[in-house]
């Protein structure tokens, strides 16, 4: 059957039965699709998107602003791909959403927030429209050196570089790397956006350019191994960069810190606290890294790790993925992902929500405020928690 | 903006109404083969009062209302045949109460099967409900609106037999409590010993009101659940096998199925037997009783138990995730089935019909029957898969299903969740006075004819 | 069609009649009765053996005169249109093992690693031990030895499919086929020879391969220091000369095999086929005796050779507090490739 429009995986789109398993985690405890949870229309669920994409391919509906909103509200959390009951095509669901966004970009039919984000990246190399010179400011006082052929490049990313919450996380990691004697350096003002969100938002031209520039930059400097602060960067470095000629050994900072703790290069003192851990989608579901952050928390004497009802493969997204961190299409309503997630964290009785991603840190910190939970819950990066345990 | 849209926004807020082409397109169809029809609005209430106000507005303006759960009947029962409002009930999804001692739960009209299952597992692990094998997103109220079945139907009857009370918004807007909750705070009986008014709503496909709350029986969740799989190539012996098995009164669920693919299932009929217990000894004893019951067929070499080791995880799932996968056999995203309720004696004739229809219309088949109430009757599914991108195949499936329904009616069976065409076929065959009564009830309850019009519609 | 080379005169002159006298599932008053029944079978007459044989393969091992009592029983049963297991079960096996072109083959040069139609074998045949042959794995009905149909007295299926399987391996260019399942090795050697089917490659029994590899990896072996009970599979009865390899391998990795009643020629069936052929009562009884015997040895592990036995008994063994493990996994544990706690 010939469609009026086309995307790479068009031949799969009609195979969705829209049965709705994709909305749920493995055990159906609550809806696990952030956009369906927030908006409540079936159109905002993965199955709904599949069906609408088919309608659009068929020219039965137009690429309207509402259609674009439905697509761009997807948090790219990968829950659907893991829960879809059709083994033969489930892996392509996120691809199909992404490919459709590519077409929306090509046709210039993207939401204003997306347009602004892409424009800022193209112009400033970061979505905050802040000067490149300020990119390395976060590192002040960490004693971390600029990258000059050390063993690892510590890649911080846009959120870690410019956002206050992200900077705090980045500084903690930086200090710990220095303290543990890890040979690592950062790029500072030479660092540019990794492109993960640009890709997911569908701007493939800009994405290719960013990746090309980054690969060239990394290669010029002799980078072989990268530690990322941001799981989004980890994801794109691991999965997309090799396709464009950039193969590096990539680690998330929690993997490195867990190793340092095991090797006793980071001494830990008693830190009595009940902590719950929020799995970032790009660390967990996208890259199956569930263990190291938990190993770190369990290694801290006095920390009691309690799991949220939905965790690991079934963790509920913070709502910041798929560019939503910047575009805010999911919004901050009662059923927005961040707010739902912090309520789930509160239900564990934990005092601290440990996070391993600067976007999650920011999203959940904001949600804690909106929910009025400031006196009950504190959102802290894994490295920040380690530092607290070391300060005693 | 139209006045109706304004009025709807007033009731449910902006996020509760949509008339954008995207939502209208999506809510105009279901995954089956029936032709879509666009609604004018999609509305998502959050409370009974919201529903009441929407119904009152619809009544005033004579706008059709189609209550919808997850829209997975596959029979087009939520396609707004005459436009109007599709009422997406899924935002009314609270679990309001579980009475552990009286073994019942009260849920809202949009609560899904999956969420109740998870909730009971977390909070009342000793209790369970009769979960269907439909996807977990399907709602409890919708299942009741079409006389659904579930995992406990073999033991306790249709899921509607397990209802313990209702709250309904009548087509004229009154909020009405049915059964014990009409007299007090407890939801333990839908009718008896009162005249059973629940029959005015259960199984009516949303044509007599909107179910906003529902009480349902919960049952003991045994510590151990096990399964055996008996196979035979003698379809003529199946009724007798089932008769003997149900005599045992120890089976949780019994499904009889056959399908041509994969090859290991070719030419055989499979009887899946579930049983439960609280101790290993109980399980061992029940297994022995089951084996002994079917021993004569093993002696005659007509049937035997197959090893379930590799299939066990799949068989034990509730709901069975693999069932939806049938839709992808023709790489095409769809299947639909006719599921007449019939007597077990007729199993061989129905089985032959499935194969005949599949050959006649050149479509892929699968069939699974579930015993109801210890074998008083069964649901016999005649399923055909189709490729959504192949309109001709969809048309063939439609014809095959129509013929299946005609066959079921000839055989004295009752169509389950009939689509509007099958309802017409059913009404044409129905006792005339029964049909008149049905019409009287509908007219009295819904004088404007706004509730899911086109369904159970006389003339 | 190939025919069974059964030496009737050898059987007629048999002084022992061990094939039936030693049978664990049927009783005979003495040599004369047992021999008499076997001769009825030879002559194609009715015999209670044709009704009662549980298809354990043991008579193939008990006969020391190079004859094939079990294949003959199966031939006769089929000739008479008999079914050992229920008809739908028999046909299910025939259907599910039919060649459909859904096979998986790696890079085969001189050697192929046969994984039969058993997915578990693909996983077992990996790691350092199989380093050189893992890439040459062949899996699928096209490479499945059809011996299982002897249980169901469908020798016609064996005779029809075995030459095709052999041809398929030949097409891969394999000069050696390492068989990860006793049944495959037994088929390419014992059954093929009994029917005069030519096998143009060298079948290699995986335990021979395993023993050689473990000797090569001797430096890496850390003796496990455990006691185990071994579940000998029916298909090992086809190749009894290979039975001693188990002990040799286990000795090498520090696994003690305490004597037990149901070992060697007296080993008991895992029960899976018995359940189909003779009913649950016999199967349950056999499993119970077998498992209790294992427990009495004080074994910590139950070692499997056949994945079908493992699948049939794992859960039951675990309930008796024995850890179920395949002999290959034990070897992997010994060289530190696998954690000790299995399943």
**What are the backbone angles phi and psi of residue C167, rounded to the nearest 5°?**
-60, -40
Question: How far, in Å, are A13, A50, A97, A102, B76 from residue A55 at the CA level?
Answer: 10, 9, 14, 17, 18
> Are the Cβ atoms of A15 and B322 closer than 8 angstroms?
no
- C222 and C206 assigned to the same domain: no
Cβ neighbours of residue A299 under 8 Å, at least 6 residues apart? A258, A261, A262, A268
- C199 and C227 assigned to the same domain: no
In chain B, what percentage of residues exceed pLDDT 70?
100
- C250 and C283 assigned to the same domain: yes
- B108 and B244 assigned to the same domain: no
- C225 and C289 assigned to the same domain: yes
- C269 and C187 assigned to the same domain: no
pLDDT category at B85 given cuts 50, 70, 90 is very high
CA distance B320 to chain A (A): 10
For chain C, the chains sharing at least 3 beta-carbon pairs closer than 8 angstroms are B
CATH number at residue B192: 3.30.465.10
pLDDT at B262: 92
User: Is residue A391 predicted with pLDDT exceeding 90?
Assistant: no
Write out chain B residues lying below 8 Å of C85, CB-based. 301, 304
**How many residues are recorded in chain A?**
392
Q: Which of C54, C79, C104 is at the close of a domain? A: C79
Q: Which structural domain range is residue B83 located in?
A: 3-90
pLDDT at B123: 98
Which DSSP symbol is given to B110? T
- C250 and C316 assigned to the same domain: yes
**What are the backbone angles phi and psi of residue C310, rounded to the nearest 5°?**
-65, -45
- B245 and B317 assigned to the same domain: yes
What confidence tens digit (pLDDT) does each residue in A49-99 have?
Answer: 999 999 999 999 999 999 999 999 999 999 999 999 999 999 999 999 999
Mutate to test the interface with B, among C52, C83, C86 (most CBs of B within 10 A): C86
Q: Which of C155, C180, C210 is at the close of a domain? A: C210
Radius of gyration of chain C (CA): 20
Q: Tell me the C-alpha distance between C119 and C114, whole Å.
A: 11
**How many other C-beta atoms are found inside a 10 Å radius of the C-beta of residue B426?**
17
- B266 and B200 assigned to the same domain: no
- A324 and A344 assigned to the same domain: yes
CATH number at residue A214: 3.40.50
User: Is residue C40 predicted with pLDDT exceeding 80?
Assistant: yes
Q: Which of B90, B123, B158 is at the close of a domain? A: B90
pLDDT category at B458 given cuts 50, 70, 90 is confident
pLDDT at B62: 97
Average pLDDT over chain A reads 97
Q: Which of B90, B123, B149 is at the close of a domain? A: B90
Residue C3 inside a domain? The answer is no
Residue C141 inside a domain? The answer is yes
User: Is residue C342 predicted with pLDDT exceeding 60?
Assistant: no
Total domains in the fold of chain B:
3
- C225 and C243 assigned to the same domain: yes
> Are the Cβ atoms of C312 and B309 closer than 8 angstroms?
yes
Residue A174 inside a domain? The answer is yes
pLDDT at A330: 93
pLDDT at B324: 85
What confidence tens digit (pLDDT) does each residue in C179-235 have?
Answer: 999 999 999 999 999 999 999 999 999 999 999 999 999 999 999 999 999 999 999
Residue A23 inside a domain? The answer is yes
Average pLDDT, stretch A11-37? Answer: 97
- B42 and B96 assigned to the same domain: no
CATH number at residue C121: 3.40.50
- B348 and B395 assigned to the same domain: yes
Q: Which structural domain range is residue C226 located in?
A: 218-334
- B158 and B21 assigned to the same domain: no
- Provide the β-strand partners of residue C27: none
Q: Tell me the C-alpha distance between C154 and C168, whole Å.
A: 21
CATH number at residue B82: 3.30.43.10
What confidence tens digit (pLDDT) does each residue in A164-215 have?
Answer: 999 999 999 999 999 999 999 999 999 999 999 999 999 999 999 999 999 9
What order do you get walking across the sheet with C323-326 strand by strand? C255-256, C226-231, C301-304, C323-326
Burial B250-279 (b: 16+ CB within 10 A, else e): bbbbbbbbbbeeebbbbebbbbbbbbbbee
Residue C100 inside a domain? The answer is yes
CA distance B231 to chain C (A): 6
Cβ atoms of residues B54 and B11 within 8 Å: yes
ipTM reported for the complex, 2 dp: 0.96
Residue C112 inside a domain? The answer is yes
> Are the Cβ atoms of B328 and A64 closer than 8 angstroms?
no
pLDDT at C340: 73
CA distance A43 to chain B (A): 6
Write out chain A residues lying below 8 Å of B136, CB-based. 20-21, 24, 28
- B199 and B239 assigned to the same domain: no
Residue B342 inside a domain? The answer is yes
- B260 and B345 assigned to the same domain: yes
**From the DSSP assignment, how many helices (H) and strands (E) are in chain A?**
18, 9
**How many other C-beta atoms are found inside a 10 Å radius of the C-beta of residue C299?**
25
Residue A117 inside a domain? The answer is no
For chain B, the chains sharing at least 3 beta-carbon pairs closer than 8 angstroms are A, C
Q: Which of A110, A140, A167 is at the close of a domain? A: A110
Cβ neighbours of residue A217 under 8 Å, at least 6 residues apart? A187, A190, A192
Q: Tell me the C-alpha distance between C299 and C224, whole Å.
A: 13
CA distance B279 to chain C (A): 14
Q: Which of B62, B90, B118 is at the close of a domain? A: B90
Average pLDDT, stretch B147-151? Answer: 96
Instruction: Please report the number of interchain residue pairs, chain A to chain B, with beta-carbon separation below 8 angstroms.
Output: 111
Closest chain B residue to the Cα of A28, Cα to Cα: B114
Residue B242 inside a domain? The answer is yes
Q: Tell me the C-alpha distance between B79 and B99, whole Å.
A: 36
Helix (H, G, I), strand (E, B) or coil at B260: coil
User: Is residue A4 predicted with pLDDT exceeding 90?
Assistant: no
CA distance A3 to chain B (A): 10
- C107 and C156 assigned to the same domain: yes
Q: Which of A257, A286, A320 is at the close of a domain? A: A257
Write out chain B residues lying below 8 Å of A93, CB-based. none
- B233 and B365 assigned to the same domain: yes
> Are the Cβ atoms of A21 and B117 closer than 8 angstroms?
no
- A246 and A140 assigned to the same domain: yes
What confidence tens digit (pLDDT) does each residue in C73-87 have?
Answer: 999 999 999 999 999
Residue C340 inside a domain? The answer is no
Average pLDDT, stretch B324-331? Answer: 88
Closest chain B residue to the Cα of C313, Cα to Cα: B309
Question: How far, in Å, are B452, C90, C145, C209 from residue B233 at the CA level?
Answer: 44, 11, 26, 43
- A281 and A242 assigned to the same domain: no
Residue A115 inside a domain? The answer is no
What confidence tens digit (pLDDT) does each residue in C232-277 have?
Answer: 999 999 999 999 999 999 999 999 999 999 999 999 999 999 998 9
pLDDT at B459: 66
**What are the backbone angles phi and psi of residue C64, rounded to the nearest 5°?**
-100, 10
Total domains in the fold of chain A:
3
Residue B67 inside a domain? The answer is yes
- C239 and C284 assigned to the same domain: yes
Judging by beta carbons within 10 Å of its beta carbon (0-12, 13-18, 19+), is residue A351 exposed, middle or buried?
middle
Between A222-236, B19-33, B112-126, B315-329, the lowest mean confidence (pLDDT) is in B315-329
Judging by beta carbons within 10 Å of its beta carbon (0-12, 13-18, 19+), is residue C216 exposed, middle or buried?
exposed
Residue A163 inside a domain? The answer is yes
A vs C contact (3+ beta-carbon pairs below 8 A): no
> Are the Cβ atoms of A55 and B25 closer than 8 angstroms?
yes
The helix (run of H) or strand (run of E) holding residue C252 is: helix C244-252
- B213 and B279 assigned to the same domain: no
Total domains in the fold of chain C:
3
- B201 and B245 assigned to the same domain: no
Q: Which of C19, C54, C79 is at the close of a domain? A: C79
Cβ atoms of residues B450 and B171 within 8 Å: yes
Helix (H, G, I), strand (E, B) or coil at B252: coil
Residue B170 inside a domain? The answer is yes
Q: Tell me the C-alpha distance between B288 and C245, whole Å.
A: 39
Write out chain B residues lying below 8 Å of A55, CB-based. 25
Q: Tell me the C-alpha distance between B69 and B140, whole Å.
A: 8
- Which is it for strands C301-304 and B104-108: parallel, antiparallel or unpaired? unpaired
Q: Tell me the C-alpha distance between C227 and C208, whole Å.
A: 22
Average pLDDT, stretch B376-395? Answer: 96
CA distance C313 to chain B (A): 10
Q: Which structural domain range is residue A333 located in?
A: 267-391
- B135 and B253 assigned to the same domain: no
**Region of residue B83 (phi > 0: left; psi between -120 and 50: alpha; otherwise: beta):** left
Report yes or no: B306 at the C interface, CB cutoff 8 Å.
Answer: yes
Average pLDDT, stretch B49-67? Answer: 98
Q: Which of A1, A27, A333 sits opposite B389 (nearest CB)?
A: A1
Q: Which of A1, A17, A61 sits opposite B25 (nearest CB)?
A: A61
Write out chain C residues lying below 8 Å of B233, CB-based. 87-88, 91
- C206 and C228 assigned to the same domain: no
Q: Tell me the C-alpha distance between A250 and A224, whole Å.
A: 9
Residue C155 inside a domain? The answer is yes
Query: Residue C129's Cα: distance from chain center in Å?
Result: 22
Residue A203 inside a domain? The answer is yes
Nearest CA-CA partner of B81 in B338, B397, B438, B456: B456
- C192 and C288 assigned to the same domain: no
Question: How far, in Å, are B133, B151, B378, B382, C336 from residue B341 at the CA level?
Answer: 17, 16, 6, 11, 59
pLDDT at C343: 42
Residue A120 inside a domain? The answer is no
CATH number at residue A338: 3.40.50.10700
Residue A175 inside a domain? The answer is yes
User: Is residue A392 predicted with pLDDT exceeding 90?
Assistant: no
């Amino acid at each position: 059957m010939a469609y009026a429009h086309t995307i790479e995986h068009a031949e799969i789109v009609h195979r969705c039965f829209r049965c709705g398993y994709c909305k749920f985690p493995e055990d159906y405890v609550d809806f696990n699709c952030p956009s369906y949870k927030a908006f409540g229309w079936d159109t905002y669920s993965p199955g709904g998107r599949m069906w609408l994409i088919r309608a659009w391919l068929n020219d039965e509906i137009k690429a309207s602003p509402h259609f674009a909103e439905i697509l761009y509200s997807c948090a790219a959390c990968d829950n659907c791909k893991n829960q879809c009951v059709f083994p033969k095509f489930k892996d392509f669901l996120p691809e199909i959403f992404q490919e459709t966004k590519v077409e929306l970009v090509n046709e210039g039919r993207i939401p204003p927030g997306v347009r602004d984000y892409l424009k800022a990246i193209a112009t400033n190399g970061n979505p905050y429209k802040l000067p490149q010179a300020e990119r390395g400011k976060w590192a002040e006082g960490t004693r971390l050196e600029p990258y000059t052929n050390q063993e690892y490049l510590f890649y911080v990313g846009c959120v870690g570089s410019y956002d206050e919450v992200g900077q705090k996380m980045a500084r903690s990691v930086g200090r710990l790397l220095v303290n543990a004697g890890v040979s690592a350096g950062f790029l500072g003002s030479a660092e540019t956006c990794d492109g993960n969100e640009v890709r997911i938002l569908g701007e493939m031209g800009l994405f290719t350019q960013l990746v090309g520039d980054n690969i060239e930059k990394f290669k010029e400097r002799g980078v072989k191994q990268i530690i990322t602060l941001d799981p989004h960067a980890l994801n794109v470095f691991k999965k997309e960069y090799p396709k464009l000629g950039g193969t590096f050994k990539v680690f998330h900072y929690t993997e490195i810190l867990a190793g340092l703790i095991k090797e006793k290069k980071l001494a830990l003192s008693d830190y009595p606290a009940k902590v719950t851990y929020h799995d970032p989608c790009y660390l967990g579901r996208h890259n199956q890294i569930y263990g190291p952050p938990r190993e770190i928390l369990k290694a801290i004497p006095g920390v009691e790790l309690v799991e949220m009802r939905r965790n690991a493969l079934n963790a509920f997204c913070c709502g910041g993925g798929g560019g939503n961190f910047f575009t805010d299409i999911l919004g901050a309503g009662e059923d927005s992902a961040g707010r739902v997630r912090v309520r789930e964290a509160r239900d564990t009785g934990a005092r601290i929500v440990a996070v391993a991603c600067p976007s999650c840190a920011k999203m959940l910190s904001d949600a804690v405020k909106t929910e009025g939970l400031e006196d009950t819950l504190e959102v802290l990066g894994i490295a920040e928690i380690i530092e607290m345990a070391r300060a005693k | 903006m139209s006045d109706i849209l304004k009025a709807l926004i007033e009731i449910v807020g902006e996020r509760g109404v949509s008339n954008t082409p995207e939502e209208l397109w999506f809510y105009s169809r279901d995954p089956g083969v029936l032709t879509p029809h666009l609604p004018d609005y999609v509305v998502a209430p959050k409370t009974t009062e919201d529903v009441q106000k929407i119904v009152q507005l619809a009544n005033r303006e004579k706008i059709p209302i189609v209550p919808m759960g997850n829209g997975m009947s596959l029979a087009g029962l939520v396609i707004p045949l005459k436009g109007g409002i599709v009422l997406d009930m899924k935002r009314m999804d609270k679990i309001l109460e579980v009475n552990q001692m009286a073994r019942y739960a009260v849920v809202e009209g949009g609560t899904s099967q999956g969420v109740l299952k998870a909730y009971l597992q977390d909070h009342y692990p000793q209790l369970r409900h009769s979960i269907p094998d439909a996807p977990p997103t399907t709602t409890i109220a919708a299942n009741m609106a079409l006389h659904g079945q579930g995992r406990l139907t073999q033991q306790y009857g249709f899921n509607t037999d397990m209802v313990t009370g209702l709250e309904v918004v009548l087509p004229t807007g009154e909020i009405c409590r049915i059964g014990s909750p009409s007299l007090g705070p407890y939801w333990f009986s839908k009718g008896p010993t009162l005249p059973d008014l629940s029959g005015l709503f259960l199984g009516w496909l949303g044509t007599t009101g909107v179910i906003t709350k529902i009480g349902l029986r919960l049952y003991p969740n045994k510590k151990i659940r096990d399964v055996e799989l008996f196979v035979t190539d003698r379809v003529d012996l199946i009724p007798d096998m089932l008769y003997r098995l149900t005599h045992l009164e120890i089976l949780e669920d019994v499904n009889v199925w056959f399908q041509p693919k994969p090859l290991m299932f070719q030419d055989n009929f499979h009887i899946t037997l579930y049983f439960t217990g609280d101790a290993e000894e109980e399980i061992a004893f029940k297994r022995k009783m089951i084996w002994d019951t079917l021993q004569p067929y093993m002696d005659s070499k007509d049937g035997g138990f197959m090893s379930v080791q590799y299939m066990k995880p799949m068989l034990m799932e509730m709901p069975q995730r693999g069932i939806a996968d049938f839709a992808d056999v023709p790489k095409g995203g769809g299947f639909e089935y006719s599921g007449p309720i019939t007597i077990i004696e007729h199993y061989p004739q129905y089985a032959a019909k499935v194969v005949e229809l599949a050959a006649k219309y050149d479509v892929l088949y699968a069939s699974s029957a579930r015993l109801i109430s210890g074998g008083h009757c069964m649901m016999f599914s005649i399923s055909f898969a189709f490729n959504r991108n192949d309109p001709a195949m969809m048309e063939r499936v439609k014809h095959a299903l129509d013929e299946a329904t005609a066959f079921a009616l000839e055989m004295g069976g009752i169509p389950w969740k009939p689509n509007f065409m099958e309802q017409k076929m059913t009404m044409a065959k129905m006792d005339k006075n029964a049909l008149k009564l049905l019409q009287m009830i509908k007219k009295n309850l819904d004088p404007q004819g706004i509730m899911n019009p086109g369904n159970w519609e006389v003339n | 069609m190939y025919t069974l080379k059964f030496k009737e005169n050898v059987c007629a002159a048999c002084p022992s009649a061990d094939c039936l006298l030693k049978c664990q599932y049927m009783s005979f008053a003495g040599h004369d009765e047992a021999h008499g029944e076997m001769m009825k079978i030879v002559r194609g007459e009715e015999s209670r053996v044709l009704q009662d044989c549980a298809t354990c393969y043991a008579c193939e091992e008990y006969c020391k005169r190079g004859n094939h009592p079990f294949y003959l029983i199966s031939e006769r049963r089929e000739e008479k249109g008999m079914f050992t297991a229920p008809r739908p079960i028999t046909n299910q096996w025939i259907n599910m093992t039919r060649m459909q072109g859904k096979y998986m083959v790696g890079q085969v040069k001189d050697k192929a690693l046969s994984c039969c139609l058993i997915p578990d074998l693909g996983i077992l045949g990996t790691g350092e031990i199989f380093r050189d042959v893992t890439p040459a794995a062949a899996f699928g009905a096209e490479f499945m030895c059809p011996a299982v149909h002897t249980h169901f007295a469908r020798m016609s299926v064996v005779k029809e499919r075995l030459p095709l399987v052999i041809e398929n391996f030949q097409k891969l260019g394999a000069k050696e086929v390492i068989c990860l399942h006793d049944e495959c090795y037994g088929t390419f050697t014992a059954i093929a020879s009994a029917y005069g089917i030519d096998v143009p490659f060298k079948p290699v029994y995986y335990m021979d391969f395993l023993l050689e590899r473990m000797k090569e990896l001797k430096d890496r072996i850390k003796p496990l220091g455990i006691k185990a009970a071994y579940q000998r599979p029916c298909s090992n009865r086809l190749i009894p000369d290979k039975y001693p390899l188990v002990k040799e391998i286990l000795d090498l990795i520090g696994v003690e095999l305490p004597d037990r009643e149901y070992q060697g020629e007296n080993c008991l069936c895992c029960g899976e086929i018995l359940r189909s052929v003779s009913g649950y009562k016999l199967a349950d009884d056999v499993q119970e005796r077998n498992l209790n015997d294992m427990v009495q040895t004080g074994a910590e592990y139950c070692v499997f050779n056949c994945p079908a036995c493992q699948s049939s008994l794992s859960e039951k063994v675990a309930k008796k507090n024995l850890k179920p493990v395949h002999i290959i996994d034990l070897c992997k544990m010994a060289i530190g490739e696998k954690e000790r706690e299995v399943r």
